[in-house]
């Protein structure tokens, strides 16, 4: 009986165990198939769904009137998704060809191997493209490096396809693994070289966000600003990326797009420049080979135009610039990449405006000084320009401040500057913003140099400051350096009666729906007349002197006159030597109308004869066309090819002639160069080559050359047969 009870107990225990196990199994099946069913379905879908990041669309850059100057255009590109190409090869041949290279592991050199992507592409992709006449040259070294460092980013095989090539790609449904034709927005600089030095350029990012890239099957990065406004306002101009969803079937073939999230465009950056004035300035400046011009609103510091010649076409950089074109630009001796408007040069006699205000502040504005042809300082006899004119002219005699400005008399300002003292000159220069870097969204903005006792001790400790140094500084030579933009601010301060505005290039940043995201306020650097040592009546002496420079019968800038407009200005000519040859730096700063100034125009020319004969007539032409524009004359904007640089010396500019520039043919003009006590290098602060190199398209090498000829069907043709028709036809090959 006990045996039966034990057997029954064992049966019950076994039954209970079986029931429990079955219950657990049923519970697990319910959990997996019902409770977590949707999660597992999503995982299965995730394995069959590809996500492609669509780069954001960059915002526009427009002028003050809303005219787009930089926008986007469509570029058709052929891209290689390299991991897919390798995967297809491995599926076909079981293994992939490899190559060995020397790499680093925690800073230590090690031997490594990787798939030979060049061999794979050349034997699996290029032959099909060549057969259809669609292959292009590429750089095999760059392809291999891209696969090693950025395999998650598609490799751009061909860019900017023309319509015919694009049509052939569409007609021949290539069905090649990892090969896709995409439409991308790329930068378009609407008017060619117009304002090229302000916009800058864009390129692929220096670093890829690996965490973000890991969220996509294929990652297409946003382009980023590399220089100038494109770089300074990169965060505003960038939009939001989108996503493209593709479905892959059980055979690994992409069936097509299931959905997409469209990318969003970035904000619009509105500049202070007026495209019409910019166009007028750039056209006028093309009569010279090297120079710059700035048009400024003296009432708020807004830059209405800023031009530099020679120039370049930023469209050359889109989508990437060829190595040949880049080297041509970078090695051009005339520096087309340099923005001369923010580079520093010896300002010559235009600096006398600063010296004049320094004398007023020192209380000597009513004093007169004698010009007998020169002044002796130590062993150096510093001449007036009248003695170097051909033929020599008589000395200016005794003069007051306004007359000396009109005559641009050096001996007057030698004595006047020393009477005021170098400390006063430095103080006023600082009040005017000289020797300080402008806060502009541009690369390589020079601060210039305002020398003084402390500056000399720091930079030339073996030299002592002397009256000769003060005399040279007073006329804007020696160590003094200033940019055309800075001298525009000086002229604007004289024009408006004493307010030093900080120059600015951007008015506002606007969202696509029109909401203002940023408003750039007008900033005042200094109110000169709040200094009790300078009165409005004294200040007017400087304004009157500038008026006489243009409007007196013997003024040095008579060629700056404009019919229907009262212009005031100041000429300047500074000595400079290039390769042992005199290469004068000539200036003219001006404002108009005299009674109610609306425009300041500064023109700087390298290789001009004098400020009165070269920059002054260019400024006159600019003001004349601005006045015509105000009176209703239309300025028709058009594509501007790059301005070509040269080293020709210009004697005079006359826009009434068919060829306005006259090269070394006229007699010396009135405003000839002053003698520098110790001539220095007349420029500093800006390198011609931009800070960051653009995307340079490497030249094709031997392995990357395309023949575009039909190839005989051989062993590799079986690979294509597999792509179009059946795995069984492909024999397995070992490496």
**How many Å apart are CA 165 and CA 148, to the nearest integer?**
30
208 part of a folded domain: yes
310 and 241 housed in the same domain: no
Neighbouring-strand partners of residue 104: 109
**How many Å apart are CA 594 and CA 547, to the nearest integer?**
8
Given a cut of 50, whether residue 266 has pLDDT beyond it is yes
Would you list the DSSP string of 173-217?
A: ----TTEEEEEEEEEEETTBTTTHHHH--EES-SS--HHHHTTSS
Residue-wise pLDDT for 269-315, tens only, equals: 999 999 999 999 999 999 999 999 999 999 999 999 999 999 999 99
631 part of a folded domain: yes
369 and 254 housed in the same domain: no
Averaged confidence pLDDT in the chain: 86
Provide the pLDDT for residue 366. 94
7 part of a folded domain: no
Coil vs helix vs strand at 130: helix
End-to-end CA distance of the chain: 76
Provide the pLDDT for residue 550. 97
Given a cut of 50, whether residue 640 has pLDDT beyond it is yes
Residue 368 gets which letter from DSSP? -
Given a cut of 90, whether residue 14 has pLDDT beyond it is no
Residue-wise pLDDT for 114-140, tens only, equals: 899 999 999 988 888 888 788 888 888
325 and 243 housed in the same domain: no
543 and 615 housed in the same domain: yes
Provide the pLDDT for residue 206. 80
39 part of a folded domain: no
Please state the domain count of the chain. 2
Structure-derived torsion over alpha carbons of residues 550, 553, 558, 564, reported in degrees to the nearest 10? 70
Provide the pLDDT for residue 687. 46
Given a cut of 60, whether residue 506 has pLDDT beyond it is yes
Provide the pLDDT for residue 664. 60
Instruction: Give the mean model confidence (pLDDT) for residues 674-703.
Output: 59
Q: For residue 479, give the CATH number of its domain.
A: 3.40.710.10
445 and 578 housed in the same domain: yes
495 part of a folded domain: yes
Given a cut of 70, whether residue 681 has pLDDT beyond it is no
25 part of a folded domain: no
Residue-wise pLDDT for 418-434, tens only, equals: 999 999 999 999 999 99
Per the model's pLDDT, the better-predicted residue between 728 and 266 turns out to be 266
723 and 675 housed in the same domain: no
Q: Which distant-in-sequence residues (6+ apart) come within 8 Å of 428 by Cβ?
A: 354, 357, 358, 361
Instruction: Give the mean model confidence (pLDDT) for residues 251-268.
Output: 81
> How many degrees, rounded to 5, is the angle at CA 439 between CA 437 and CA 441?
120
Given a cut of 60, whether residue 61 has pLDDT beyond it is yes
Residue-wise pLDDT for 127-183, tens only, equals: 888 887 888 888 888 899 888 887 778 888 888 888 788 777 777 656 778 888 888
Provide the pLDDT for residue 575. 83
Residue with tokens 């977590």: 36
Given a cut of 90, whether residue 193 has pLDDT beyond it is yes
Radius of gyration of the chain (CA): 36
**How many Å apart are CA 120 and CA 126, to the nearest integer?**
9
User: Of the ranges 386-390, 585-589, 687-691, 725-729, which is most confident?
Assistant: 585-589
Phi and psi (nearest 5°) for 30? -65, -40
260 and 293 housed in the same domain: no
Given a cut of 60, whether residue 734 has pLDDT beyond it is no
Neighbouring-strand partners of residue 383: 374
Instruction: Give the mean model confidence (pLDDT) for residues 234-245.
Output: 93
Phi and psi (nearest 5°) for 399? -140, 155
55 and 136 housed in the same domain: yes
Q: How many CB atoms lie within 10 A of CB 664?
A: 11
Provide the pLDDT for residue 13. 80
Residue with tokens 């986007």: 72
14 part of a folded domain: no
Given a cut of 50, whether residue 711 has pLDDT beyond it is no
Residue-wise pLDDT for 315-345, tens only, equals: 998 888 888 899 999 899 999 999 999 999 9
Band of residue 670 on the pLDDT scale cut at 50, 70, 90 = very low
Q: Which residues of 385-422 are buried (b: 16+ CB within 10 A; e: fewer)?
A: bbbebeeeeebbeebebbbbbbbbbbbbbbbbbbbbbb
Contact call for residues 295 and 304 (beta carbons, < 8 A): yes
687 part of a folded domain: no
Residue-wise pLDDT for 572-629, tens only, equals: 999 888 887 788 999 999 999 999 999 999 999 999 999 999 999 999 999 999 999 9
Q: What percentage of the chain carries pLDDT values higher than 70? A: 88
Q: For residue 166, give the CATH number of its domain.
A: 3.90.1310.10
573 and 659 housed in the same domain: yes
Residue-wise pLDDT for 75-120, tens only, equals: 888 888 888 889 889 888 888 899 988 877 777 777 888 899 999 9
Residue-wise pLDDT for 242-256, tens only, equals: 998 888 766 656 667
Provide the pLDDT for residue 128. 86
Provide the pLDDT for residue 735. 35
360 and 496 housed in the same domain: yes
249 and 369 housed in the same domain: no
Owning domain of residue 519: 275-680
263 and 318 housed in the same domain: no
Contact call for residues 143 and 81 (beta carbons, < 8 A): no
């Amino acid at each position: 009986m006990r045996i039966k009870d034990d057997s029954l107990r064992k049966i019950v225990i076994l039954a209970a165990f079986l029931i429990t196990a079955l219950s657990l199994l049923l519970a697990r099946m319910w959990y997996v198939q019902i409770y977590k069913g949707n999660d597992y379905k999503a995982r299965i879908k995730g394995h069959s769904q590809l996500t492609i990041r669509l780069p954001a669309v960059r915002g526009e850059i427009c002028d003050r009137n809303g005219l787009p100057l930089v926008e986007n255009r469509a570029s058709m590109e052929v891209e290689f998704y390299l991991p897919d190409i390798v995967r297809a090869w491995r599926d076909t041949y079981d293994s992939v060809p490899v190559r060995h290279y020397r790499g680093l592991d925690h800073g230590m050199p090690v031997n490594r191997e990787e798939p030979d992507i060049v061999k794979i592409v050349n034997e699996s992709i290029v032959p099909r493209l060549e057969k259809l006449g669609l292959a292009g040259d590429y750089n095999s070294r760059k392809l291999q490096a891209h696969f090693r460092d950025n395999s998650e980013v598609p490799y751009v095989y061909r860019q900017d396809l023309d319509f015919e090539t694009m049509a052939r790609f569409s007609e021949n449904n290539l069905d090649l693994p990892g090969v896709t034709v995409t439409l991308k927005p790329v930068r378009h600089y609407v008017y060619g070289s117009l304002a090229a030095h302000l916009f800058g350029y864009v390129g692929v990012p220096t670093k890829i966000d690996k965490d973000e890239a890991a969220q996509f099957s294929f990652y297409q990065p946003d382009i980023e600003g590399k220089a100038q406004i494109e770089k300074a306002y990169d965060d505003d101009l960038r939009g939001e990326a989108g996503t493209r969803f593709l479905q892959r079937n059980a055979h690994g073939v992409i069936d097509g797009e299931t959905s997409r999230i469209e990318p969003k465009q970035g904000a619009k950056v509105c500049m202070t420049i007026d495209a019409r004035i910019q166009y007028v300035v750039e056209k006028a400046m093309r009569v010279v080979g090297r120079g710059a011009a700035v048009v400024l609103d003296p009432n708020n510091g807004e830059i209405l135009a800023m031009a530099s010649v020679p120039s370049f076409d930023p469209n050359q950089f889109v989508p990437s610039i060829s190595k040949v074109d880049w080297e041509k630009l970078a090695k051009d001796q005339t520096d087309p990449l340099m923005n001369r408007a923010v580079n520093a040069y010896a300002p010559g006699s235009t600096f006398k405006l600063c010296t004049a205000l320094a004398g007023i502040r020192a209380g000597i504005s009513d004093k007169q000084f004698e010009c007998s042809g020169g002044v002796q300082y130590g062993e150096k006899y510093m001449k007036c320009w009248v003695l170097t004119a051909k033929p020599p002219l008589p000395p200016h005699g005794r003069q007051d401040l306004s007359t000396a400005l009109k005559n641009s008399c050096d001996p007057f300002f030698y004595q006047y500057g020393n009477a005021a003292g170098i400390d006063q000159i430095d103080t006023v220069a600082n009040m005017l913003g000289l020797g300080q870097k402008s806060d502009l969204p541009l690369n390589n903005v020079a601060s210039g140099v305002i020398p003084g006792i402390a500056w000399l001790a720091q930079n030339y400790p073996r030299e002592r400051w002397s009256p000769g140094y003060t005399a040279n500084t007073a006329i804007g030579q020696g160590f003094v350096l200033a940019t055309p933009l800075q001298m525009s601010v000086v002229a604007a301060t004289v024009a408006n009666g004493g307010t030093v505005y900080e120059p600015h290039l951007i008015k506002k940043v606007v969202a696509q729906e029109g909401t203002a995201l940023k408003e750039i306020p007008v900033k005042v650097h200094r109110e000169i007349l709040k200094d009790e040592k300078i009165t409005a009546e004294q200040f007017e002496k400087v304004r009157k002197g500038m008026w006489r420079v243009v409007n007196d019968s013997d003024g040095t800038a008579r060629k700056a006159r404009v019919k229907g407009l009262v212009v005031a200005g100041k000429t300047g000519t500074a000595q400079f030597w290039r390769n042992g040859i005199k290469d004068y730096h000539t200036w003219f700063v001006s404002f108009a109308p005299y009674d109610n100034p609306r425009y300041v125009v500064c023109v700087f020319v390298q290789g001009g004869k004098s400020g009165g004969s070269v920059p002054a007539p260019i400024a006159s032409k600019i003001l004349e066309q601005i006045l015509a524009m105000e009176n209703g004359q239309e300025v028709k904007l058009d594509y501007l090819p790059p301005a070509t640089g040269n080293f020709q010396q210009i004697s005079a500019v006359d826009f009434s002639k068919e060829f306005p520039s006259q090269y070394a043919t006229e007699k010396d003009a009135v405003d000839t160069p002053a003698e520098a006590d110790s001539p220095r290098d007349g420029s500093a602060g800006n390198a011609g080559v931009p800070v960051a190199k653009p995307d340079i398209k490497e030249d094709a090498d031997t392995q990357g050359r395309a023949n575009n000829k039909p190839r005989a069907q051989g062993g590799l043709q079986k690979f294509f047969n597999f792509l179009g028709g059946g795995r069984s036809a492909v024999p397995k090959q070992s490496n």
